[in-house]
Structure 1
């Protein structure tokens, strides 16, 4: 493949690590400049189609979702990589190569503080519906969607992990009980949906740059914060907010762990290359799920 950009011509491509739903390549040009090429073309998405997946958790991939999320985040003041050009027909985008590495490599408190400020601006955005940008879901409640998804992931995990299979009935009862304890609300906020420190880059000014934005959606803020707590650990203090519903946090926490068992193991049915990384995610979250079962046995 040859890429031309602002009078430059590509001379080298390097595939970047990760990228289970799209290809990400660092492109070097003939004058030494670099950029990142995102490709959503056939063959770049390693995820098999998940039967019964419900919105807004359907496959968050594609140039259209990327551009919609990019426009919305830019509008609310969240730093995302600059887009140099897009090729609609081939599902390609050439974007800024942010030079400072990933936040997970440093966990710099100053950058974390800036990230918290940026995300709180995003979380201030409200909608009376939930769903991906431009694709509202009006027929179900957010809690109902999470419960349905958690039970499906529990069934998947039970078939793949013997210990979860043994605990399946108790865990299903726990999901139903946690969901039943939650009061309805319609205060949906704009969230990234899967924000870990590996999805934040640092630019030359020391500012955080958010990537992997295709899953941007309006949803319960608690869903975002369950994932942030899981991924940022002690550094979550830089990102926390007041007023979260702990009942939702409990249900969404268990649902998240079930998703992170079933999803990675399903991904490994295909030919995803970084297999040990996905197995480790599944192992860690299976243990978290089983901790819930032990809590049921020893309330």
Structure 2
């Protein structure tokens, strides 16, 4: 990937580039230089993240955009660890409170559509392009092919959607928290209006597997009184396999 002179000039000649990172919203590079630490994303998905970051900053804390040039997005390093790395004892409560705040954003204010027709169409595109990695499926889906997962998604599609502004990949690794408790959302390339279970399915799986059922209980208590539909949790966890 070749970057424009405008982007390269941000870092200087002493910049050290690392490609040991991969984000949902485009290939991710870490750049360290005398000018600071930056994250660089590129590709079509980085464009989607740029648009969403500009909008979301009016509602939630997000990384600062340093530059956007064609399909290259440069973000400032927030300087805080993710909840995945920090893993505080109250991680479930923190994750629940942050998601409650995001899901409270009025959907009529959000210009990004991530409802099921959009997600399913994107899943089909990824299937046809051979981009779905069946070897990475969860254990209870390990006996399914990518084609079988997609067929089940069509056959078991919920009749309605409980719409919120969803993150799209809500995991402990995508929430940074300062020492004072200020959260910052990252990797928001899939953010948009969608069923709340799109986020709930992913975060409840991550908390259960990595932090235990007590973290799940703390999350649900902090998230609020909304009833969780177990069938839709299963559906959206299956949908996540396509991405």
CA gap 1:15/1:236 in 2 versus in 1, 3 angstroms: farther
CA gap 1:10/1:115 in 2 versus in 1, 3 angstroms: farther
Question: What is residue 12 of structure 1 aligned with on the other side?
Answer: 15
Question: What is residue 31 of structure 2 aligned with on the other side?
Answer: 26
Question: What is residue 71 of structure 1 aligned with on the other side?
Answer: 54
CA distance, structure 1, for counterparts of residue 14 and residue 116 of structure 2: 50
Structure 1 residue 36 displacement after superposition: 0.9
CA distance, structure 2, for counterparts of residue 197 and residue 210 of structure 1: 10
CA gap 1:143/1:116 in 2 versus in 1, 3 angstroms: same
1:184 paired to 2:160: yes
Structure 1 residue 121 displacement after superposition: 1.3
Question: What is residue 63 of structure 2 aligned with on the other side?
Answer: 81
CA gap 1:177/1:75 in 2 versus in 1, 3 angstroms: same
1:92 paired to 2:69: no
Rg comparison, structure with higher value: 1
1:199 paired to 2:174: yes
- Cα pair 1:102 1:198 within 8 Å, conserved: yes
**Equivalenced residues, count:** 219
CA distance, structure 1, for counterparts of residue 28 and residue 132 of structure 2: 31
Structure 1 residue 38 displacement after superposition: 1.6
By relative contact order (CA 8 Å, sep 6+), the higher-ranking structure is 2
CA gap 1:115/1:88 in 2 versus in 1, 3 angstroms: same
SS in 2 for 1:62: helix
CA RMSD of aligned residues (A): 3.8
Question: What is residue 237 of structure 1 aligned with on the other side?
Answer: 217
- Cα pair 2:111 2:192 within 8 Å, conserved: no
CA distance, structure 1, for counterparts of residue 152 and residue 73 of structure 2: 43
Question: What is residue 295 of structure 1 aligned with on the other side?
Answer: none
Unpaired stretches in structure 2, ≥5 consecutive residues: 136-141
- Cα pair 2:63 2:186 within 8 Å, conserved: yes
CA gap 1:17/1:136 in 2 versus in 1, 3 angstroms: same
SS in 2 for 1:232: helix
1:251 paired to 2:232: no
- Cα pair 2:112 2:191 within 8 Å, conserved: no
What's the TM-score, normalizing by structure 2? Answer: 0.69
CA gap 1:125/1:214 in 2 versus in 1, 3 angstroms: same
Deviation string 1:159-201 (CA, Å, 9 cap, x unpaired) is 9679435x977x777545533xx3325x421111012222223
